Amino acid sequence: MPTPIITDGSMDSVKEAPKVVLPSGLTALFRLRADRFLALSRKDQGSMGPYLALMADLCQAQSHWADKQSPVAVDSVALEHSRLHGMPPMADLVFNRPSGWQADLRGLVSHVLEKGSVNDAVRASLNHLQQCTEQSDHGSTKVESLADAVLAGVDLAAEDARLVPFIGAALQLHFARLAASLSAEDLRISDTPGVCPCCGSRPTASIIHMDPQRLNSRYLVCSVCLTEWNMERVKCTNCYKEGGVAYLLIDDSPTASQSAAIRAETCDDCKSYLKIFVEEKDPMLDVIADDLSSLALDLLVHERGYARTGPNLLLYPGDQ
Ligand SMILES: [Zn+2]
Ligand SMILES: [Zn+2]
């Protein structure tokens, strides 16, 4: 059960944390993410700096394009199914996408080509992608297959792999805009709490918030539509068992453990993990950006035999 929170100082008024929080204020949400990527790129001591800076440009493009299209309406039958049976109302739309999301992709790519710093190989791939999306009013079938591969986590050849974060960002923008057009009352948490109640996708990570309405409650963050949903902290986010959950950190000394904002939550029952972010330890953190800047933790957890259960659609799956 969500932690009951007293919000107004009165013992008589106890509020429950909301079960689902849909994305809102997308222009600001993506701009803050861009700022965080930029800050992380400047702090980076290794080789990730240029990549994180490029992701800052891409999130800036998401912010710029957030209000450039109107969301298509979610089917009323899907909404009714969601209310009655806990089916994610956008699940079908993710896999049978209207081609309108390719207009978002074109917008993001134009913005990055114009304002971002991309190397020659990425620029050539993006120019090719632009040509593909312009070939037909109904969208490019090649781009749709790339999107299917990105959503399914299928490995792509190097030339196409470069496009993954751009396709991921366009899908994210498109489905976050659609999710933002719904109301939390439209959704019911399904019997499968490890998938998004709005679009049925896996979460990128979870976060423990510090805002009063959600204080100390843990929320999973959808990798595709950015909806957040509440889940008890004691349970594994993959198999829902309680006994095998533990935390792994890059620096597990007692002092560092106390102040760590990013941990890997591992489960010995299903040998899986997902990162968990603690906002109180770092109020500036952003699940998508900080996840990508902490890939060293993923390596450590992989070495210990745990498999990650949710993607980050802005992850570039290869060498820059
Ligand atoms: Zn979702
Ligand atoms: Zn588990």
pLDDT tier at 12 (50, 70, 90 boundaries)?
A: very low
Q: What's the confidence (pLDDT) of residue 8?
A: 42
Distance 211 CA to ligand 1 centre (A): 22
Q: Does domain 24-184 have CATH number 3.30.1490.20?
A: no
Whether residue 243 contacts residue 269, with contact meaning beta carbons closer than 8 Å, is answered with: yes
Reported pTM: 0.91
Distance 94 CA to ligand 2 centre (A): 26
Instruction: Give yes or no on whether 24-184 and 190-308 have one common fold.
Output: yes
Nearest ligand to residue 224 Cα? 1
Distance 273 CA to ligand 1 centre (A): 19
Amino acid at 224: V
Distance 303 CA to ligand 1 centre (A): 29
Distance 12 CA to ligand 1 centre (A): 35
Compute the mean pLDDT over every residue in the chain, rounded to the nearest whole number: 88
pLDDT of 320 higher than 70: no
Q: What's the confidence (pLDDT) of residue 15?
A: 65
pLDDT tier at 9 (50, 70, 90 boundaries)?
A: very low
Distance 265 CA to ligand 2 centre (A): 10
Distance 189 CA to ligand 1 centre (A): 12
Domain ranges for the chain, please list them: 24-184, 190-308
Percent of the chain with pLDDT over 70: 94
Percent of the chain with pLDDT over 90: 60
For 15, 115, 193, 208, the CA distances from 2, given in Å and listed in that order, are 10, 43, 14, 12
Q: What's the confidence (pLDDT) of residue 275?
A: 97
Nearest ligand to residue 171 Cα? 1
Nearest ligand to residue 270 Cα? 2
Distance 312 CA to ligand 1 centre (A): 12
Task: Select 190-308's CATH number: 3.40.50.170, 3.40.50.300, 3.90.1670.10, 3.20.20.70.
Answer: 3.90.1670.10
Own/partner contacts of 78-87, CB < 8 Å, gap of 24 or more, are 79/182, 79/186, 82/186, 82/187, 82/188, 82/197, 83/185, 83/186, 83/187, 83/188, 85/188, 85/190, 86/188, 86/189, 86/190, 86/191, 86/197, 87/190
Nearest ligand to residue 307 Cα? 2
Give the tens place of pLDDT for each residue, 179-215: 999 988 888 777 777 899 999 999 999 999 998 889 9
